[in-house]
Structure 1
């Protein structure tokens, strides 16, 4: 588990957290952060994927605003700072930085590359599925997907979305629009978690809901095993 640097598509350098498996990677997975930066929870997600045999890399997508941001969603002032950062973040540029991370791991000779994201990262996982050649993507409690349904025709590789039924950032109308727009898509699978709120699969803190988190993570593991190897 270490820090690394990724060459970006505009000839800069992006910091990232890297977790390597003990043996040859079965594939690579790009871990896409929440609005709280590369904090302990995101690092733990990477470490768990490495334990499962994947090379896991979490690019610091807020680096163009300020590198090294780590925030705790259970601290109100830090939550407000995270929401401010989301407002400043250029999502289109973020996808280009994710694409750079995909190219980076492929440059290490790893053929199959997946992506998994949470919150803002869940939205970016959907955008990654639509805008890059990633091999498989998973989004947890993705925000604003109802506004991105016009891109669904570009999704050519498998995508799984975990939807929190009581998500205070994704209201019932938005969830219904996701189902109406994506249920018949041959590459997209939606899973609903009734009664669960945004952030239910976080590794640490008050938002975690153990049973739902375990179920979602088991589905994600099976999905990646099927589509990445």
Structure 2
């Protein structure tokens, strides 16, 4: 369904690829940026974008690892360590700048219409940072890591943010989840959903981590959230 486009980096250092999925007929009502896990723009992320296109959105998944290993695609079930080795090498501020560039390029493709984002794992963290550091219209994060260390930015959340939190996430322990709730439950623009007994990656499109009923519930909440805030 999709194709590859090129986006210029804001710092003038080059350009990066992004996977683009368009709805049938090409008339998108709005756009959603799909922010990758540590596994790159793999089949699961492309399928997420394709599903958003089926819902009527222009979906764009930028290759945020282009400064490290452009085009890398890893299998979450068999290449976790390789992915984890990339994580500390990734410049998150440059990642946000690349997301900003993607927002700008994507808005142009929907004639200045609304643009949201949805991210997973590392992308869940970046979705939170996108909500605090850019003019994105709505953001969703699935099992974002280390968000408790970014709670001092919560005052900058100007547009709606939804976070999906599995309660037995091996990368986000209970004390971190507690701080997230304490810091964000009262925020008028933030909605948190807990998924009791579930682990990191439960909403992946493919592989051993997926839990169908919970993934479908979370994705239905995301769909309703975007339908409300990107209309």
**TM-score normalised by the shorter chain: which range applies?**
over 0.9
**Where does residue 213 of structure 2 map in the other structure?**
211
CA distance in 2, matches of 1:13, 1:210: 37
**Where does residue 89 of structure 1 map in the other structure?**
90
Which of 102, 113, 116 is matched with 1:114 structurally?
A: 116
CA distance in 2, matches of 1:163, 1:226: 21
Residue 5 of structure 2 corresponds to residue 4 of structure 1 = yes
Superposed, 1:122-201 pairs within 5 Å as 122-201=124-203
CA distance in 2, matches of 1:39, 1:105: 20
Unmatched 5+ stretches in structure 2: none
What's the TM-score once normalised by structure 1's chain length? 0.98
| Worse overlay, 6-15 or 161-170 | 6-15
Cα offsets for 1:94-144 (capped at 9, x unmatched): 000000000001122141000000000000000000000000000000000
CA distance in 2, matches of 1:168, 1:30: 26
CA distance in 2, matches of 1:100, 1:8: 6
CA distance in 2, matches of 1:124, 1:178: 15
Cα offsets for 1:139-173 (capped at 9, x unmatched): 00000011000000000000000001110000000
RMSD: 0.6
Structure 2 SS opposite 1:107: helix
Residue 45 of structure 2 corresponds to residue 38 of structure 1 = no
Unmatched 5+ stretches in structure 1: none
Distance apart, 1:211 and its partner CA: 0.7
Instruction: Detail structure 1 runs of 4+ shifted over 4 Å in the superposition.
Output: none
| Worse overlay, 158-167 or 22-31 | 22-31
CA distance in 2, matches of 1:9, 1:22: 31
Superposed, 1:37-76 pairs within 5 Å as 37-75=40-78
How many aligned residue pairs are there?
227
Whether the 8 Å contact between 1:27 and 1:110 is mirrored in structure 2 is: no
Structure 2 SS opposite 1:148: helix
What's the TM-score once normalised by structure 2's chain length? 0.97
CA distance in 1, matches of 2:230, 2:162: 13
